[in-house]
């Protein structure tokens, strides 16, 4: 349906039960839309979005919740609004006595659940590698000052902030890597409002809320897999797209080729280390009570981040310096496509050796290595796993939420660009406004609207194409023999 035609009984089909689909479905149902269906080619719910079986950006063990957005104050504001919702979800989740519709590990009597929390306010330490904070960091602090939240940020080089951190019980997270002692310098800012969410539980919770609000789900490799979206071609239904699923015909991953000018599929490199519970010293040290989320050199947009250990002792570390591409033929176009189990036979869990060395450390490497520099006491365990996690990046790292030009009734809601998860409880509120045609009058409608791509300029790496250096096939991939640190 076109924006003007959207009415409470409109049949709305959402393709994909990840963060963007779930949040949109939830807010449509809350807004009174009665005929909303989410389809997905993976049965995401069967395993409770277990990252071992569900291959998507959203199905993960944890994701960062942060408010630091440099000069991008609209994202900072939306993240703050999302934080209030996360708090509310935490309370609702902890209080729910309803077991129906929840996967086993979210039920009130769920075994091995650990804390009944979706989001954990463990703080986030934004560490710089050098002797000064970056420009992006300074803009972040300025914008936080503007919004009245600067007092929750603690600079490690400011005696007033250090004192405030101590008084508010955050002192122990100011320099958990002992950088001042080891390197004589530690330039960082601890954000005491940030932390992480347990991603798979949060997706299950959002699906549960959406279902309760009346959303229907078809999560099935055949009936839920959309292979084509085309116009109906008849005058009566001219604005009703036809959606073809895999149980009715051929197969193509290219649903909307027109977005390939604006969005690119890229892969992030993620590794884990397992801390054994018998090592009580490290088990305690890396718990969320004692260890913050850390980002390192992220102000340059290309650093490394890590989480405290989870309930199983898993410490996740991600590498953002380079996001990889994987080019393939799609309907006559060469575009980057994910190498995930449900898209290709050639699922890839290995990561390029360059990323691995950047994360774990290698003396001859020019990139400063994360584990050996910052978490050397974990080195003895070696790596536990590696994974490629597929992003949809936009040309400017802003989301893309709008009707697709020339395709009545079809909207795109994507382009998470590595930072969409934190908005799960609130993203759909803004998406619905855009779908209802109010996008022009909202900051997010303007930010996320369909935009022309200047083909003569850099487009977040998309312009590199297949000749660029990020193509996975050009890299030697790490194998388990390389996991020793
Ligand atoms: C390595 C990595 C780290 C990240 N870290 C963070 C973080 O710390 N904090 C943060 O806020 N954000 C983070 N993000 C970003 C966040 O995870 C994404 O923005 C968000 O999960 C994207 O959700 P999505 O719904 O667009 O995509 P996905 O979660 O990938 O979901 C898409 C769904 O669509 C389904 N689908 C695809 N094609 C079809 C089809 N043809 N038919 C039917 N179903 C289909 C898939 O099966 C899948 O379930 C990270 C992302 C990555 C990759």
| Ligand 1 atom at minimum distance from 421 CA | 11
Question: What per-residue string of b and e applies to 73-96 under the rule 16 or more CB within 10 Å gives b?
Answer: bebbbbbeebbeebeebbeebeee
Question: In this predicted model, which residue has the larger pLDDT, 449 or 96?
Answer: 449
Q: What are phi and psi of 352, to 5 degrees?
A: -60, 145
Domain 261-394+463-483 in the same topology as domain 1-121+195-251+400-450: no
Q: What is the mean pLDDT of residues 325-341?
A: 84
Query: What pLDDT band is residue 330 in, cutting at 50, 70 and 90?
Result: confident
Domains in the chain: boundaries? 1-121+195-251+400-450, 261-394+463-483
- Each residue's pLDDT tens digit, 221-259: 999 998 888 765 554 455 677 777 666 433 333 578 788
Tell me: pLDDT of 312 over 50: yes
* Beta-bridge partners for 272: 316, 385
pLDDT confidence of residue 244: 72
Instruction: Name which of 171-180, 351-360, 419-428 the model is least confident about.
Output: 351-360
CA distance 190 to 128: 11
Going by pLDDT thresholds of 50, 70 and 90, the confidence category of residue 484 is confident
Q: Which residues of 15-50 are buried (b: 16+ CB within 10 A; e: fewer)?
A: bbbbbbbbbbbbbbbbbebebbebbbbbbbbebbbb
Q: Which tokens go with 202? A: 């949060």
Element holding 267 (H helix, E strand): strand 263-274
Residue at token pair 């800012």: 189
Give, using CA atoms, the residue closest to atom 36 of ligand 1.
16
Mean pLDDT of 173-180: 97
CATH code of domain 261-394+463-483: 3.30.9.10
Predicted local distance difference test score (pLDDT) of residue 115: 74
pLDDT at 368: 56
Q: Which of 58, 202, 338, when mutated, tests ligand 1's pocket best, judged by the most ligand atoms within 8 Å of its CB?
A: 58
Phi/psi at 334 (5° precision): -100, 110
**Residue 112 predicted with pLDDT over 70:** no
- pLDDT of 52 over the 80 cut: yes
Examine the pLDDT at 385 and tell me if it is beyond 90: yes
Q: Contact 264/396 with Cβ under 8 angstroms?
A: no
Exposed/middle/buried for 251, CB within 10 Å: 0-12, 13-18, 19+? exposed
Q: What percent of the chain has pLDDT above 70? A: 90
Atom 12, ligand 1: residue with shortest CA distance: 419
pLDDT band at 271 (very low <50, low <70, confident <90, very high): very high
Ligand 1 pocket by Cβ (under 6 Å): 15-21, 39-42, 44, 56-58, 63-64, 224-226, 255, 268, 270, 318, 342, 389-392, 414, 416, 418-422
Confidence category of residue 461, pLDDT binned at 50, 70, 90: confident
Categorize the per-residue pLDDT at 301 as very low, low, confident or very high, splitting at 50, 70 and 90.
low
Pairing of strands 411-414, 124-127: unpaired
Of 60-64, 251-255, 461-465, where does mean pLDDT reach its minimum? 251-255
- pLDDT higher than 70, residue 343: no
Q: Whose CA is nearest to atom 23 of ligand 1?
A: 19
H runs (alpha helix) in 101-251: 135-146, 159-167, 179-183, 199-212
For residues 266 and 325, is the Cβ–Cβ distance under 8 A? yes
Residue 118 DSSP SS3: coil
- Residue 420 Cα, ligand 1 centroid: separation in angstroms? 8
Pocket test for ligand 1, best of 15, 56, 226, 325 (most atoms within 8 A of CB): 56
The mean pLDDT value for 310-315 works out to 96
- The pick from 221, 416, 427, 431 for probing ligand 1's pocket by mutation, whose C-beta has the most ligand atoms within 8 angstroms, reads 416
Cβ within 8 Å of residue 4, ≥6 positions away: 437
| Centre of ligand 1 from the C-alpha of residue 18, in Å | 6
How many CB atoms within 10 Å of residue 368?
15
Among protein residues, the one whose CA lies closest to atom 46 of ligand 1: 16
Nearest CA to 268 out of 416, 371, 107, 153 is that of 416
| Cα Rg of the chain, angstroms | 22
pLDDT at residue 253, as a whole number: 35
- The third-level CATH classification (topology) of the domain covering 1-121+195-251+400-450 is FAD/NAD(P)-binding domain (3.50.50)
| Rounded distance from Cα 238 to ligand 1 centre (Å) | 31
- How far lies 235's CA from each of 4, 80, 239, 296, 410, in Å? 17, 46, 9, 56, 17
Q: pLDDT value at position 85?
A: 98
Sheet holding 195-198, edge to edge: 62-65, 195-198, 119-120
How much distance in Å is there from the Cα of 450 to the middle of ligand 1? 20
- Listed range (103-112, 322-331, 443-452, 464-473) with the worst mean pLDDT: 103-112
Quick one: which H or E segment has residue 218?
strand 216-219
Rounded-to-integer distance, Cα 131 and Cα 326, Å: 37
Distance 16 CA to ligand 1 centre (A): 9
DSSP 131-168: SS--HHHHHHHHHHHHTT-GGGEEETT-HHHHHHHHHT
Q: How far is the CA of 96 from the centre of ligand 1 (A)?
A: 27
Residues 6+ apart with CB under 8 A from 344: 328, 337, 338
The 3-state DSSP composition of the chain as helix, strand, coil percent (nearest 5) reads 30, 20, 45
Q: Match 């790292």 to its residue by tokens.
A: 397
Q: What is the mean pLDDT of residues 61-75?
A: 96
Nearest CA to ligand 1 atom 21: 58
- pLDDT (0 to 100) of residue 269: 95
Q: What CA–CA distance (Å, rounded) separates 191 from 67?
A: 8
Q: Under a CB-based contact definition with an 8 Å cutoff, are residues 460 and 454 in contact?
A: no
**Is the pLDDT reported for residue 135 higher than 60?**
yes
Query: Is the separation of the CB atoms in 179 and 186 below 8 Å?
Result: yes
Q: Which atom of ligand 1 is nearest to the CA of 419?
A: 12
Averaged pLDDT, 130-141: 92
pLDDT for the residue 114: 62
Cβ-based neighbour number of residue 481 at 10 Å: 6
Average pLDDT over residues 178-206: 96
């Amino acid at each position: 349906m076109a924006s003007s035609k959207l009415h409470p009984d409109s049949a709305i089909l959402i393709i994909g039960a990840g963060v963007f689909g779930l949040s949109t479905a939830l807010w449509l149902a809350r807004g009174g839309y009665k005929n909303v269906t989410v389809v997905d080619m993976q049965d995401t719910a069967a395993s409770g979005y277990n990252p071992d079986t569900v291959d998507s950006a959203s199905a993960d063990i944890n994701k960062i919740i942060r408010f630091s957005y440099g000069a991008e104050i609209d994202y900072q504001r939306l993240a703050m609004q999302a934080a209030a919702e996360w708090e509310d979800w935490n309370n609702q989740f902890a209080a729910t006595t309803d077991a129906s519709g929840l996967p086993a590990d979210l039920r009130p009597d769920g075994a091995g659940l650990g804390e009944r929390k979706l989001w954990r306010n463990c703080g986030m330490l934004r560490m710089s590698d050098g002797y000064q904070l970056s420009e992006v960091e300074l803009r972040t602090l300025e914008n936080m000052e503007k919004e009245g939240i600067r007092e929750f940020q603690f600079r490690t080089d400011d005696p007033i902030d250090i004192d405030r951190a101590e008084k508010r019980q955050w002192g122990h997270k100011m320099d958990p890597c002992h950088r001042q002692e080891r390197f004589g310098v530690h330039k960082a800012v601890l954000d005491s409002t940030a932390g992480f969410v347990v991603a798979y539980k949060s997706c299950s919770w959002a699906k549960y809320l959406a279902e309760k609000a009346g959303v229907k789900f078809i999560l099935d490799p055949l009936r839920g897999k959309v292979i084509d979206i085309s116009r109906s071609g008849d005058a009566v239904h001219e604005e009703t797209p036809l959606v073809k699923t895999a149980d009715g015909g051929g197969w193509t991953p290219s649903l909307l080729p027109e977005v390939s000018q604006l969005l690119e599929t890229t892969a992030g490199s993620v590794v884990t280390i397992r801390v054994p519970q018998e090592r009580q010293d490290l088990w305690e040290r890396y718990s969320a009570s004692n260890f913050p989320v850390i980002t390192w050199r992220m102000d340059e947009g290309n650093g490394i981040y890590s989480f405290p250990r989870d309930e199983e002792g898993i410490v996740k570390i991600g590498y953002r310096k380079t996001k990889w591409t994987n080019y393939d033929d799609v309907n006559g176009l060469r575009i980057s496509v994910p190498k995930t189990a449900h898209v290709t036979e050639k699922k890839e869990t290995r990561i390029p050796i360059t990323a691995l060395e950047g994360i774990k450390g290698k003396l001859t490497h020019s990139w400063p290595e994360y584990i050996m520099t910052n978490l050397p006491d974990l080195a003895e365990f070696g790596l536990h796993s590696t994974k490629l996690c597929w992003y949809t990046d936009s040309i400017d790292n802003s989301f893309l939420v709008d009707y697709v030009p020339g395709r009545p009734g079809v909207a795109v809601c994507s382009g998470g660009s590595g930072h969409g998860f934190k908005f799960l409880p609130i993203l759909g509120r803004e998406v619905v406004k855009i779908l209802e045609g109010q996008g022009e009058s909202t900051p997010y409608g303007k930010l996320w609207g369909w935009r022309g791509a200047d083909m003569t300029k850099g487009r977040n790496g998309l312009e590199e194409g297949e000749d660029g250096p990020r193509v996975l096939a050009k890299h030697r991939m790490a194998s388990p023999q390389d996991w020793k640190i």
